[in-house]
Chains A and B, each alone.
Chain A
Amino acid sequence: MGESTVHALRGVSLQVAAGELLAIMGPSGSGKSTLMHLIGCLDTPTTGSLSLDGEPVAGLSEEQLAVIRNRKIGFVFQQFNLLSRITVLENVTTPLMYGGVGWRERGQRAEEALDRVGLSDRLRHRPTELSGGQRQRVAIARALVTRPSIILADEPTGALDQETGRAILDLFAAICAEGKTVIVVTHDPQVGAFCGRRVALRDGLLEE
């Protein structure tokens, strides 16, 4: 008996252009989460290379990866992943704090971002006081506030009812129209159908 290496992804080659709304589809266990972690610089590939905005990411230190996550990527999670002890506004200013943005500008930009997702009247609320759809909007505002080039969404509609989910997807489409790349990871064909481009992952292999 020994440790066996599991290849979650095998020889995946994928190019994503700016302004695309891309769906990465696949059943659970197909490796789509791993792919998303790699794209989001939450993890580094064992072999192979990854470039963001044409810059290679492999071999960067934890501190450098943190800077890339902060500047270039906005995350949207299935479970929202908001910080429950602080207000909606503070949640949205958090990435700016890590980006070293001055504290007055932080407030301004966070309010703009929350206005963009239609939540300017909920600034002082706690995330727990909001509905699921509202929470996901806060998460999107938090992802947008650093003006990243890529929005990475992991099953963003998975915890929402159909109507609310649809509204979130419309929001993504609008964000795309502004020139940002949005990558949605999902197993839901309806979500996939909504996106302009679809790739499917099966057993660590990619099918366009």
Chain B
Amino acid sequence: MFWENIRMALREFGANRLRTFLSLLGIVIGIGSVISITTLGQSATASVQKQVAQGGLETITVFSGRDAAKEVRRLFTVDLGERLASEVPGIREVTPLAQAGYYLKHGRETYESATVLGVQASFPGIYSYQSASGSFLSAEDGQKRRSVVVLGAEIAGVLFPDGGALDQYVRIYRKGVARSFKVIGVMKEKTGTMGLDFDGSAYVPFETYSARLERLENVQRYAMGTVTGADVLEVAGRVEKFFTRLTGNTDSFRVLSPSTIAEMFTNVTRTLNLFLTGVAAISLVVGGIGIMNIMLVSVAERTREIGIRKALGAAPRAIRGQFLTEAVTLTLVGGLAGMALGTALSFLATALLKWSFAPQAASYALAVACSSAVGIFFGLYPAARAARLQPVEALSFE
């Protein structure tokens, strides 16, 4: 009888196409959003994780707070970086980091809006950044405050279109400051991450930077690489403790790692998912009420049919089964349409955003379960009403 009920239901929908379609919209939208939310959420998380992994998942950055007291700011010294590396387990190497915007000039070529970064020799190791030619800054370059510079790939390409940058001099300048630096290395290309534009930056020794370019009294930012295999979040926690002990409070610095960013993102997606799931649930309930309404109309219209079926020997149970099957078939049809819609939408969105398309088998299972549940829940009352009809009255219904 089950298959007959489904066939009857499909025939009933075929005879009332527009009505069926309209009553299904709520379910289609509800299920469609369930599918696209879960798929997009997963795709977003995957692509953020991929980006974060490119930037080096194992780096941690500490910023000194802008409004930290002067005594506190004084604690942020170059030597503190070395203390960090030796005292905090899990930290492999540290570099102080300072940056500012400058023009770079060689002969007639100018590179505007270059970022000049003051860093130590450990910088490339922390970000797995590789030299293309020459070498990176050495510790000695810093100690002797040499005016040497290593160029990012893009700057080198602009200033030295024909190559041969090594041992040439470039001018680093802006209003009021102009210095000549000797090029000792050129870096390979690397995608920017974590606020660093590798290819559009020029690297000078931190000590030279703070003495000759910006006259810094203390360090505003430390970048550190962690030991391979260490739990970055745990190490970040230790760094946080180290600075809390040092400064006596938690407001004068900020610890940031790609992992914490990834975790923040995951939290944001989770919250967003929760919210959108709520929206989906509401549209499923609204859709379910639509189903209930259309089923009540259907039962009323088919009172005579119900009477005939009862005269032919249909037990109340059989009538209830017929209308319940019809409601569930209806919501499942809506669910399938919603799945197709959600899949198409999330596919388009991921293609536009250049994210990986990651449909979740679990969310499709959830969609099927949700649409059946809506059908059963909202079909129960109309079906019970059909089953309760008195045969004589139903038969005399015009």
Interface residues of A (CB under 8 A from B): 37, 40, 42-43, 62-63, 66-67, 69-71, 75, 77, 81-83, 85-86, 94-95, 97-99, 142, 146
Q: Point out the residue from B304, B311, B314, B317 that lies within 8 Å of A42, measured CB to CB.
A: B311
B391 touches A43 (CB 8 A): yes
Interface of B: prevailing SS: helix
Distance (Å) between the CB of A113 and the closest chain B CB?
13
User: Assuming A37-B392, A42-B391, A97-B1, is B12 touching A70 (CB within 8 A)?
Assistant: no
B11: interface (CB < 8 Å): yes
**4 tightest Cβ-Cβ pairs between the two chains A and B:** A70-B313, A66-B315, A95-B312, A42-B391
B8 touches A86 (CB 8 A): yes
**Nearest B residue to A80 by beta-carbon distance?**
B308
- Bound Cα distance from A82 to B1, whole angstroms: 19
User: Assuming A37-B392, A42-B391, A98-B318, is B313 touching A81 (CB within 8 A)?
Assistant: no
B308 touches A81 (CB 8 A): yes
Offer 20 A-B interface pairs, CB within 8 angstroms, sorted by A: A42-B392, A63-B315, A63-B317, A66-B316, A66-B318, A69-B312, A70-B312, A71-B313, A77-B395, A81-B308, A82-B308, A83-B309, A85-B12, A86-B8, A86-B11, A95-B312, A95-B313, A97-B4, A98-B313, A98-B318
B15 touches A42 (CB 8 A): no
- Bound Cα distance from A86 to B392, whole angstroms: 23
Distance (Å) between the CB of A142 and the closest chain B CB?
7
Cβ-Cβ contact count across A and B, 8 Å cutoff = 64
A81 touches B11 (CB 8 A): no
List of B residues within 8 angstroms of A85 by Cβ: 8, 11-12, 15
Among A63, A66, A94, the most chain B Cβ lie within 10 Å of the Cβ of A66
List of B residues within 8 angstroms of A98 by Cβ: 1, 309, 312-315, 318
Distance (Å) between the CB of B240 and the closest chain A CB?
71
Interface residues of B (CB under 8 A from A): 1, 4, 8, 11-12, 15, 304-305, 308-318, 390-392, 395
Distance (Å) between the CB of A146 and the closest chain B CB?
7
**Nearest A residue to B1 by beta-carbon distance?**
A97
List of B residues within 8 angstroms of A99 by Cβ: 313
- Bound Cα distance from A81 to B308, whole angstroms: 7
List of A residues within 8 angstroms of B313 by Cβ: 66-67, 69-71, 95, 98-99, 146
Distance (Å) between the CB of A186 and the closest chain B CB?
18
**Nearest B residue to A34 by beta-carbon distance?**
B392
A66 touches B392 (CB 8 A): no
A63 touches B316 (CB 8 A): yes
- Bound Cα distance from A63 to B313, whole angstroms: 9
Among B310, B312, B315, B316, the most chain A Cβ lie within 10 Å of the Cβ of B312
List of A residues within 8 angstroms of B4 by Cβ: 97
B311 touches A81 (CB 8 A): yes
- Bound Cα distance from A133 to B247, whole angstroms: 101
